[in-house]
Structure 1
Amino acid sequence: MAGKREAQRQALKDRLFEAARARIEQQGLGNLRARDLTTDAGCALGGLYSAYEDMDDLVLQVNAATLRSLGASLEEAATSDAEPAERLVGLGLNYLDFARSHMNLWSAIFDHRMQNGREIPSWYNEEQKVLFAHIGKSLLALQPDMAMEDLSIRVRTLFAAVHGIVSIGLREKIIGLPQDKIASEVEAIIRLLVRGAKD
């Protein structure tokens, strides 16, 4: 009997996860509502809170899945036989392609804020490391003597530069780039930073 209950609970979790993912993908994180999700999943509102701790928990699960998809899309560039600088350019362009192709899901990774100032759970911080892991390997190949603390900072600097161009460009802010220039500027900033890393 316990096994059947657990299977039912897992099925409910899966339905709610898919409903949340679909809603975020189609309408964005800002339009995500518990009542809409439970309607989509065919359960009562209380079912959401028996399957997930709260809405934050559910959104983090969706974001973690998006991070894993992003990691998979970066894997090809990260493991190519190209020189480290070219791998970094490939990572930046793949990141742009992923963001452009999955705009709402990608945005949700950065737009979500935990309610009531709660800390992000440690398991999710581990999922976020996919944003930096591949960059670090290529940067270390360029500067093998760099201290690990300095490397960690440089990785975040490079990510922030690329993410800033992508985020502002795709969201078409006032200072955003023309859509047809985003890729070339991502490549340009990476090459500039790599050139500095070699000096």
Structure 2
Amino acid sequence: MARRFDHSSEEITDMALQWVKHHLQSDLSDSLSLRKVAKGIGYSPGTLINLFGSYGYLLLRVNADTLDELSEQMKAASTNDTVPEQQLNAMALCYLEFAMAHTQRWRLIFELKLATDEDIPDWQQQRIDQLLNQVKGLLTGIKPDASNREIEQTARIMWAGVHGISFLAVEDKLFSPAKLNHSEMVTTLIRNYLTGWLSDTESR
């Protein structure tokens, strides 16, 4: 066990976050516990509670880092193209690839349940909004005359589909006798949805 003042608060915080991320490379989040994290970095559970406020908020900080990484990778993927439709498809494929490569961290974003008296902090909500805003920005470029409500709804519906394919892919629950190409499914979803969305406007 490390002595109480072996590391600064910032160092202990980083140690805890990195330990959880490393653990999730090969193990389920259900196998984590506050005591296990504390033991893994050589500090007491109380030290972690003092730093993060609760075990739930510790995991929420891990989720924040995951969202930051995902957001940056999606942004980078979209810069390889200049056509909004292609940029959107690149971001969707990046989302799928991230889920496949970092499955347990990706799953923790959606599986984490805070205590009833714990609210999602602004810094976490801002990250969630930022991710969706990337999609909304591209949709606005594709259909500049669309209302804010239409863009919001389209972004959420489309990404729900991308997320659904990603979830079924990581869980291996597509229930198909043939090995389906998940990337092709995502690309087909984006292409067909955009085609229907744009043609619906033209037919009015």
1:122 lines up with 2:129 in the alignment = no
1: CA distance, partners of 2:10 / 2:89 = 41
Q: CA deviation at 1:179?
A: 5.4
Identify unmatched segments of 5+ residues in structure 1: none
Q: Give the TM-score, by structure 2 length.
A: 0.87
1:95 lines up with 2:95 in the alignment = yes
Alignment of 1:54-73 (within 5 A): 54-73=54-73
Q: CA deviation at 1:180?
A: 4.3
The residue number in structure 1 matching 2:106 is 106
Q: CA deviation at 1:173?
A: 2.5
Q: CA deviation at 1:96?
A: 0.9
Higher share of residues assigned helix: 1
Q: CA 1:18 to 1:120, structure 2 compared with 1: closer, same or farther past 3 Å?
A: same
Q: Could you tell me which amino acid in structure 2 is paired with residue 37 of structure 1?
A: V
Q: CA deviation at 1:138?
A: 1.5
* RMSD (CA atoms): 1.9
> Per-residue CA shift, 1:17-74, capped at 9, x if unaligned?
2122222332122111111111111012211112110011111111000101001111
The residue number in structure 2 matching 1:189 is 189
Q: Could you tell me which amino acid in structure 2 is paired with residue 11 of structure 1?
A: E
The residue number in structure 2 matching 1:137 is 137
Number of residues of Structure 1 aligned to a counterpart in Structure 2:
194
Q: Give the TM-score, by structure 1 length.
A: 0.89
The residue number in structure 1 matching 2:12 is 12
Q: Could you tell me which amino acid in structure 2 is paired with residue 188 of structure 1?
A: T
The residue number in structure 1 matching 2:165 is 165
1: CA distance, partners of 2:101 / 2:82 = 25
- Following superposition, which runs of at least 4 residues in structure 1 exceed 4 angstroms of deviation? 174-180
Q: CA deviation at 1:116?
A: 2.6
CA contact (8 A) 1:38 1:45 kept: yes
2: CA distance, partners of 1:11 / 1:32 = 21
Q: CA 1:146 to 1:51, structure 2 compared with 1: closer, same or farther past 3 Å?
A: same
2: CA distance, partners of 1:41 / 1:98 = 27
